[in-house]
Amino acid sequence: MRPPLDELLDTTHVVSLPLVSRFRGIDVREAMLLEGPHGWTEFSPFTEYADPEAAAWLAAAIDFGWNAAPPLLRDSIPVNATVPALAAADVPATLARFAGTRTAKVKVAERGQTLDDDVARVAAVRAALGPEGRIRVDANGAWNVDEAEHAIHALAPYDLEYVEQPCATVEELAEIRQRVRYMGIPIAADESVRKASDPLAVARAGAADVLIAKVQPLGGVRRVLSLEAEVGLPMVVSSGLETSVGISMGLHLAGALPSLDFDCGLGTAALLAADVTDAPLLPRDGALPVRRVVPSPGLLRRHAATQDRTLWWRARLERCWELLEA
């Protein structure tokens, strides 16, 4: 079901939420919330994304708010901590925000930093989690193949669960996967799935062992479930740094997947210094419940975006809605 544009616009609230620390080059996260007949939903593509890419995020928001969610196979989802590209000394305080998590995803290959910075950060995470903790690293496609091979060798002593998007292209992922196969470190694909015109290309090319599934950029819960049925690789459901409303969408996907072999990257509300609900989806005992989220009217008012930004988001929604209609 796709509602009329006026119906969507009548329900919108645009918020601007501060982050605990700088992440993805931003200090504030903007998002548009909408209320459909099946509950609250979120449209929050990052501001630099062009309309054709952002339209998939709107399709996901409409799917979650205007259609019933698929049946759940589980009602609790284990999640990982997310460690931004911060100084090693700041790692313990960041991990403390993710209560009870046994897995950490560590950002590496940050512009302006060095491999030594990455090694120090990952070493600090290993020291905090102990030998039984699980560490995955995410380079966001910043390395070429040779750089990726060198970095993986440097980070391997810290017992990596997998390396996420070490290189930008599918061809590079396939090559680095072959180069490090003997090390037994899996390669995960994120941008090569969610930003691709053909999300299945990475699997056909033998370029990844694991797929990172972010429900908004992939077009919604039902769309990802259909991809999972075709791709034949394990999925890790992750967040696009959403509010608890958007994270709820990801939790419903994780709850409906036929199998869930990895902890999911859905604990990112812990990276927000404010949220839209009095009951935010923060990890407890390393997990999150699968539930809908209802924003607090007071928090929507307190964190409302400026009028200019609200008009910008409404115009963006209109353009994306027209793309979906076309």
Q: Where in the chain is the domain with CATH 3.30.390.10?
A: 5-68+297-325
Higher pLDDT, 100 or 232: 100
CATH topology of domain 5-68+297-325: Enolase-like; domain 1 (3.30.390)
pLDDT of residue 114: 98
List the 210-214 sheet strands across, edge first: 81-83, 103-107, 134-138, 160-164, 187-189, 210-214, 235-238
pLDDT of 197 > 80? The answer is no
Is residue 190 annotated as involved in ligand binding?
yes
pLDDT of 22 > 90? The answer is no
Q: Which of 13, 214, 223, 252 is catalytic?
A: 214
Confidence of residue 25 (pLDDT cuts 50, 70, 90): confident
pLDDT of residue 143: 98
DSSP 100: T
Q: Looking at residues 50-74, what average pLDDT do you find?
A: 97
Is residue 191 annotated as involved in ligand binding?
no
Residue of 58, 70, 24, 23 whose CA lies nearest to 251: 70
Confidence of residue 232 (pLDDT cuts 50, 70, 90): confident
pLDDT of 70 > 80? The answer is yes
pLDDT of residue 129: 97
pLDDT of residue 16: 98
Written as one letter, the residue type at 286 is G
Q: Which of 13, 105, 107, 126 is catalytic?
A: 107
Percent pLDDT > 90 in the chain is: 92
Is residue 275 annotated as involved in ligand binding?
no
Whole-structure pTM value: 0.95
| Residue 214 annotated in active site | yes
Confidence of residue 175 (pLDDT cuts 50, 70, 90): very high
pLDDT of residue 45: 97
Reported as a single tens digit per residue, the pLDDT across 140-163 is 999 999 999 999 999 999 999 999
Q: Where in the chain is the domain with CATH 3.20.20.120?
A: 76-289
CB atoms within 10 A of CB 16: 15
| Residue 195 annotated in active site | no
Would you say domain 76-289 falls under CATH 3.40.50.1820?
A: no
Q: Looking at residues 315-320, what average pLDDT do you find?
A: 98
Reported as a single tens digit per residue, the pLDDT across 74-87 is 999 999 999 999 99
